[in-house]
Amino acid sequence: MRGLLSVVVLTGCAAGGDPGSGGEALPNPGYTPYAVHAEGDAGLTPVLPEGAGRDLMAYLRHDRVNLVYTRCPEDAVCAIAGATSDDGLVFSPETALLTDPRGLSAPYLEAGPAGDVLWVVVGDGAALGRAPAEGDDFGAVEVALEGGPFSAPSVVNGPAGRRLFFVREGHLYMAAAVGTGWDTPTAVLGPCDETDCWPEEGVEHAEVRLGVSATGRRFYRAAFVNAGGGEKAVGFAASEDGATWSAVPFNPTLVLGRGTTMGLSNLRVGDRYFLYFSRSHFSRGRVAPITGAAVNRAGAPSVVF
């Protein structure tokens, strides 16, 4: 956990501390503070219709926020849907994006020089698939990696090369790209056994992105939810090589409360950072996600991701 201390110093607490503690000119790497979007006194204001938002990912396209997520109808297999927004809080009606008779979930958009690719979990999690972007749509899904179970995939071309990340049994795993495939995945972030460490029981719903600091330094940046029982909360970690990670000193950043977390995604939009999350919600006798957003407007944004 000591391998990325220099990145945390450049982009985190030593470059201005917790940005909630001071002035607007302090560099803000997007770790804290986040305030849940709530209109009036009714508490969390959902940003997507009821039932939408499981396993979500946010990204920018044509200066609009795009949310892609898993939609699981009562009478069909899960598929990938999406919605767009000008301000990150009010979204368009849902659009169906990608279907497959095997069922699809957990979308992650990899941006690359040869074109964007949407990564998905196929079926019950035994395989990962990829679908090339075709304008605003996506082509057919082809299986890219078997040997799961897989959840929460991320594919990032960072400072140490292209890396695949996914979550399994409370650990974040990493595999390096080798030719057209991947090497053997290894666990790189998980339960901690040090005094007063967090998260004690490991991670779930981890999302890894390429972060670029104000000085141009590139690093792998992870947002994740703690695994296990009790209250769920969001934390961050950073890495230079994808293998050795350093946690942000003021983890956890945002407490989501008790219940089941069903998705997490973090995105910078202009001078704000958005943290989208989905939580379990009982509706008409079944569990469905309810999706909210938390916004960080503090300081001067210093990291792009």
Task: Kindly list the structural domains of the chain, giving each domain's residue range(s) and its CATH number in brackets, ordered by start.
Answer: 5-304 (2.115.10.20)
The whole-model pTM stands at 0.90
Those residues of the chain that have pLDDT short of 50 are: 1-22
Backbone angles phi, psi at 285, to 5 degrees: 80, 5
Integer Rg of the chain from CA: 18
First to last CA, the chain: 22
- How far apart, in whole angstroms, are the C-alpha atoms of residue 16 and residue 42? 34
CA distance 116 to 218: 20
**pLDDT for position 16:** 34
pLDDT tens across 67-97, in order?
999 999 888 999 999 999 999 999 999 999 9
CA–CA gap between residue 152 and residue 84 (Å, rounded): 21
